[in-house]
Structure 1
């Protein structure tokens, strides 16, 4: 009985603490969806995220302006390089990255909007405690709103605004701490010799452009 009382007090103490900005685990994998307010874009992707090496890989399936697309993109931010990978044909396209690596998590200058339970707080395992934050995008490009778990700082969703698409919503799920196959974040053996492709009619890749089938 005393153990139960102690555990209850500890839990109450944790819930009473004010949430603070946080960093997500440096190695994550899972799945995400991206959708836009104007309904031009919807995509599903499996993702592999390495904050230590500043590398990300996205394997996507989606629709853009009612056309279906697939894409397998490896982003190496330290090298300012992205690879479009076609495993079936064993071909690669190499493109420049114009953006800096943005780690998952909540920046220190973000403001807390609130803390809620997703699901139910009526019983153990029925709900998930999350915190929602708001702040400025890099280079004052607009505002964002991000939700992460209270314990572990695992991403749940992010919303931000663009002139082209309106509100863009990214939702994360089936997250796993770690990467089961680290080789997925290394260019395949048929990629390193690919020539850098710079198309004057196409902007160098940023996050949202990864979901647009212009390549």
Structure 2
């Protein structure tokens, strides 16, 4: 009986430990949606994320200032290039990528806002334990505030609020899978082989590195 009581006490002690900043799995596949405070931007995207090779593939469609758009991009941060891919026309453009790679993680200096159960804690499988963190990131354009929610177990992204020139940008993650479902997505298609690097980089409505 004493051993059982000791086990329960140790279990409660483990559950009561204060959450710590974490890093999401290095290989992730899933979907996300994005909206801005000024309601100018609405985006739905599928993504493949490779923190080991610093590669990201985004297939987005949405609306920006009441105009719809579709963008298929492969961002290669080590090479410093981004491919814009048009599979329908079998065409590809290549432009310089000057942004730094930011892994999906909770920075060490983040402050814990709270821990809650999303859904219900009444029964098994009815809810997910998540942690919400807040802080400030140093960006090229100056400091930016953020609030990010990740799962307690696995550090899987759930949502992120990031302050941009549009005001607060809200990103929600769903259908996340650990690993690369289609690893070939992170390799430029064969018809991109002859693409020439363009000098200028026009600003897109939204890209992955501007979300987090």
SS at match of 1:141: strand
Shift of 1:123: 1.1
Whether the 8 Å CA contact 1:118–1:130 is kept in 2: the answer is yes
Distance 1:71 1:5, change over 3 A: farther
Shift of 1:6: 8.6
SS at match of 2:106: coil
Distance 1:27 1:9, change over 3 A: farther
Match of 2:39 in 1: 39
Match of 2:146 in 1: 144
Shift of 1:35: 0.4
SS at match of 2:14: helix
Shift of 1:138: 2.7
Question: TM-score with structure 1 length normalisation?
Answer: 0.88
Cα distance in 2 for partners of 1:166, 1:70 equals 23
Cα distance in 2 for partners of 1:7, 1:180 equals 40
Distance 1:172 1:207, change over 3 A: same
Match of 2:178 in 1: 177
RMSD: 2.6
| Counterpart mapping for 1:1-215 below 5 A | 12-139=12-139, 140-163=142-165, 165-199=166-200, 202-203=202-203, 207=207
Distance 1:209 1:148, change over 3 A: closer
Equivalent pairs counted in the alignment come to: 209
Deviates more, 1:134-143 or 1:58-67: 134-143
Consecutive unaligned residues in structure 1, runs of 5 or more: none
Whether the 8 Å CA contact 2:99–2:209 is kept in 1: the answer is no
Cα distance in 1 for partners of 2:193, 2:205 equals 18
SS at match of 1:137: strand
Whether the 8 Å CA contact 1:99–1:206 is kept in 2: the answer is no
Distance 1:125 1:14, change over 3 A: farther
Consecutive unaligned residues in structure 2, runs of 5 or more: none
Shift of 1:15: 2.1
Deviation readout 1:187-206 (Å, 9 max, x if unpaired): 00111321112337x34897
Cα distance in 1 for partners of 2:209, 2:177 equals 25
Shift of 1:9: 5.6
